[in-house]
């Protein structure tokens, strides 16, 4: 069984390399970490594989430029970065997979509940029931959690307080959002009946 190597075993500074080669090696390390990561990687995690004082943002920008001709790119999601296939290649990926396992495959109601959670988070199941006029089942919440689109949110410390739900970084990645500020205008969501007006959904 392979043992995890502590970061102390990694030569972060690469002092024996000329500056140009050192910078390129740091870029490659960031590329390797992003390639291996199933979720967006925060800046502080990337900083662990480069030299002290190295600018992670500049390294990522240089990596983006380096990948300009590749079918994938580095994108900012939440407080980190991840690889994403360029939209121009979506049809090729879909064709190769014959449509299996591609996309989120959410029902209209599932998508509506997800939108309501995104706009009203943290939100309880009872508040979701108020929005939709019917109970939101545990099975639906379970499906969204299994896909890592939502997670448990903050909960009041009082005994018996209900659980709340929030969206995840995987939600942002799935919908090509850098942050929740990139959600569609709230009025559009409310007009579609997918979220409560302010003050009614929390």
Domains 7-89 and 108-191 share a fold: yes
**Kind and range of the H or E run holding 87:** none
Domain extents for the chain? Answer: 7-89, 108-191
The DSSP line for 97-146 is TTTTT-S----HHHHHHHHHHHHH-SB-HHHHHHHHTS---HHHHHHHHH
State pLDDT tens for residues 134-174.
Answer: 888 899 999 999 989 999 999 888 888 899 999 998 888 88
Q: Whole-angstrom Cα distance, residue 113 to residue 105? A: 14
User: Which of 29-43, 98-112, 128-142, 174-188 shows the lowest per-residue confidence on average (mean pLDDT)?
Assistant: 98-112
Task: Give me the CATH code for the 108-191 domain, please.
Answer: 1.10.10.10
CATH number assigned to the domain with residue range 7-89, chosen from the 4 options 1.10.10.10, 2.60.40.10, 3.40.50.1000, 1.20.120.1750: 1.10.10.10
Cβ–Cβ under 8 Å, residues 169 and 150: no
Q: What is the mean pLDDT of residues 181-199?
A: 60
Q: Whole-angstrom Cα distance, residue 115 to residue 198? A: 14
State pLDDT tens for residues 107-140.
Answer: 888 888 998 899 899 999 999 988 888 888 899 9
Task: Reply yes or no on whether the pLDDT at 192 is more than 60.
Answer: no
User: Which of 11-20, 57-66, 170-179 shows the lowest per-residue confidence on average (mean pLDDT)?
Assistant: 170-179
| pTM check: above 0.75 | no
């Amino acid at each position: 069984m392979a043992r995890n190597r502590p970061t102390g075993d990694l030569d972060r500074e690469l002092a024996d390399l000329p500056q140009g080669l050192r910078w390129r090696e740091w870029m490659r390390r960031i590329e390797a970490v992003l390639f291996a990561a199933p979720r967006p990687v925060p800046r502080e995690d990337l900083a662990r594989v480069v030299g002290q004082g190295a600018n992670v943002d500049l390294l990522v920008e240089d990596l983006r430029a380096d990948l300009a001709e590749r079918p994938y790119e580095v994108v900012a999601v939440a407080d980190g970065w991840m690889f994403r296939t360029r939209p121009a290649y979506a049809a090729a990926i879909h064709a190769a997979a014959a449509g299996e396992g591609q996309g989120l495959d959410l029902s209209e109601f599932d998508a509506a509940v997800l939108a309501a959670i995104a706009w009203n988070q943290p939100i309880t199941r009872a508040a979701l029931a108020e929005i939709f006029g019917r109970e939101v089942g545990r099975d639906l919440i379970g499906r969204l959690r299994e896909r890592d689109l939502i997670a448990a949110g903050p909960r009041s410390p009082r005994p018996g307080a209900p659980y709340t739900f929030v969206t995840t970084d995987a939600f942002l990645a799935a919908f090509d959002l850098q942050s929740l500020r990139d959600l569609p205008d709230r009025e559009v969501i409310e007009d579609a009946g997918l979220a409560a007006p302010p003050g009614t959904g929390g």
